[in-house]
């Protein structure tokens, strides 16, 4: 088992992928009485968009931490090694999935249009994610890869430009969310224009890690109470706003909901707390063996959960067998594809 550089991150990844799967299976899980009540009162448990944003924040944070360490050790970063690490981490498992999709398409088991294939293969899926269900989840991968095409070059240009770049993204994305809501354009909540700020915020936290840690840990109880309160409230805020005409759209659209700025800041609070406060049940829970293992498999689980949560292919009475198939395919993907390439990736690590 690969050892995580930072504690709790695999646990947070595990929670993220659980949120995604719960969101895709919500209609079936609501038939289970105890889960129905749980999802109503703790709505974020079935919030897949929140889960993806947790992934984004962690991704930006961890990759930037590694870039900063490389810069400190060698005085600069290697673009070649960065892109090779990125290639070995993401591409093999993803293209293995697409290869399986190609076989299924050849036998007419699934149907993916030519234009949808094009965006899936070229990591531009957020432009037409809604053409089919099977490749739709690649929208998040395409956002990440587009950001990481730019970020190393910006990183090389110096500390001031890094900061300007990240703050610019964090500032402009809420504006795009408002624009998308008002104009009902293709620029929806699954495009780079509305989601990139979560990755950028993770990068910013890495750059000012110690300062942010000192602030959050100094007032940790106040910050945790704020983060927990917000996480419990935000699933109900938009429905209440619509039901009672509270006119809170000016806040919920750019800053609230599952993908807003306040939610991203709450993720940061939980991230810092999880990494630094070790004498509590939450830390023990995040670093438990089951959660750590799920987090280890989280990328493969994310890739394979899509096809087995499709009512188009399996109908609506596949649960809980689809969870078994997700597990089997994820294990095959991780041990036969992902893990061997991770060993190659490690050869280019700092």
pLDDT tens by residue, 4-30: 568 899 999 999 999 999 999 888 887
pLDDT at 73 (0 to 100):
93
pLDDT by residue (tens digit) across 178-216?
999 888 777 889 999 999 999 999 999 999 999 999 999
Secondary structure in 3-state letters for the chain? CCCCCCCCHHHHHHHHHHHHHHHHCHHHHCCCHHHHHHHHHCHHHHCHHHHHHHHHHHHHHHHHHHHHHHHHHHCCCCHHHHHHHHHHHHHHHHHHHHHHHHHHHHCCCCCCCHHHHHHHHCCCHHHCHHHCCCCCCHHHHHHHHHHHHHHHHHHHCCHHHHHHHHHHHHHHHHHHHHHHHHHCCCCCCCCHHHHHHHHHHHHHHHHCHHHHHHHHHHCHHHHHHHHHHHHHHHHHHHHHHHHHCCCCHHHHCCCCCCCCHHHHHHHHHHHHHHHHCCCCHHHHHHCCHHHHHHHHCHHHHHHHHHHHCCHHHHCCCCCCHHHHHHHHHHHHHHHHHHHHHHHHHHCCCC
CA dihedral of residues 38, 41, 46, 52 (deg, nearest 10) = -140
Q: Are 139 and 190 in contact (CB under 8 A)?
A: yes
Average pLDDT over residues 33-42: 79
The CA distance from 178 to 193, in Å, is 11
Asked if pLDDT for residue 1 goes beyond 50, the answer is no
Asked if pLDDT for residue 91 goes beyond 80, the answer is yes
Task: Look at the block and give the residue holding tokens 């293709």.
Answer: 186
pLDDT at 314 (0 to 100):
62
Of 294, 228, 332, the C-alpha closest to 18 is 294
pLDDT at 140 (0 to 100):
98
pLDDT at 2 (0 to 100):
52
The CA distance from 60 to 84, in Å, is 17
Six-digit token pair at 100?
């399986």
Task: Look at the block and give the residue holding tokens 């587009």.
Answer: 146
Asked if pLDDT for residue 256 goes beyond 70, the answer is yes
Asked if pLDDT for residue 313 goes beyond 70, the answer is no
Average pLDDT over residues 301-305: 97
Confidence of residue 348 (pLDDT cuts 50, 70, 90): confident
* Mean pLDDT computed over every residue of the chain: 92
pLDDT by residue (tens digit) across 132-168?
999 999 999 999 999 999 999 999 999 999 999 999 9
pLDDT at 316 (0 to 100):
60
Residue environment code for 31-66, b if the CB has 16+ CB neighbours within 10 A, otherwise e: eeeebeeebeeebbbbbbbbbbbbbbbbbbbbbbbb
CA dihedral of residues 10, 87, 167, 231 (deg, nearest 10) = -30
pLDDT at 193 (0 to 100):
95
The CA distance from 123 to 276, in Å, is 35
192 vs 348, higher pLDDT? 192
Asked if pLDDT for residue 312 goes beyond 70, the answer is no
Q: How far apart are the first and last CA of the chain?
A: 20
């Amino acid at each position: 088992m690969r050892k995580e550089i930072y504690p709790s991150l695999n646990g947070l990844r595990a929670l993220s992928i659980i949120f995604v799967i719960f969101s895709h299976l919500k209609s079936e899980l609501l038939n289970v009485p105890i889960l129905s009540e749980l999802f109503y009162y703790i709505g974020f448990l079935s919030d897949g968009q929140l889960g993806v944003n947790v992934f984004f924040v962690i991704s930006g944070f961890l990759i930037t931490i590694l870039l900063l360490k490389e810069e400190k050790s060698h005085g600069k970063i290697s673009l070649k090694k960065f892109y090779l690490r990125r290639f070995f981490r993401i591409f093999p498992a993803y293209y293995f999935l697409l290869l399986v999709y190609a076989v299924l398409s050849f036998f007419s088991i699934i149907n993916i249009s030519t234009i949808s294939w094009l965006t899936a293969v070229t990591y531009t899926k957020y432009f037409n994610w809604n053409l089919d269900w099977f490749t739709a989840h690649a929208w998040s991968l395409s956002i990440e890869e587009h950001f990481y095409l730019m970020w190393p070059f910006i990183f090389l240009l110096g500390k001031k430009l890094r900061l300007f770049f990240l703050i610019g993204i964090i500032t402009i994305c809420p504006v795009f969310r408002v624009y998308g809501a008002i104009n009902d354009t293709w620029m929806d909540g699954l495009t780079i224009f509305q989601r990139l700020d979560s990755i950028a915020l993770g990068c910013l936290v890495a750059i000012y890690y110690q300062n942010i840690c000192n602030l959050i840990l100094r007032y940790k109880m106040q910050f945790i109470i704020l983060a927990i309160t917000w996480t419990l409230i935000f699933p109900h805020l938009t429905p209440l706003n619509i039901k009672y005409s509270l006119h809170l759209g000016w806040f919920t659209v750019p800053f609230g909901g599952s993908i807003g700025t306040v939610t991203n800041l709450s993720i940061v609070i939980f991230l810092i707390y999880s990494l630094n406060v070790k004498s509590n049940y939450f830390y023990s829970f995040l670093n438990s063996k089951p959660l750590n293992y799920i987090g280890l498999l989280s990328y493969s689980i994310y890739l394979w959960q899509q096809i087995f949560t499709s009512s188009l292919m399996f109908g609506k009475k596949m649960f809980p067998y689809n969870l078994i198939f997700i597990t089997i395919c994820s294990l095959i993907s991780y041990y036969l594809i992902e893990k061997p390439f991770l060993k190659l990736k490690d050869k280019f690590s700092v």
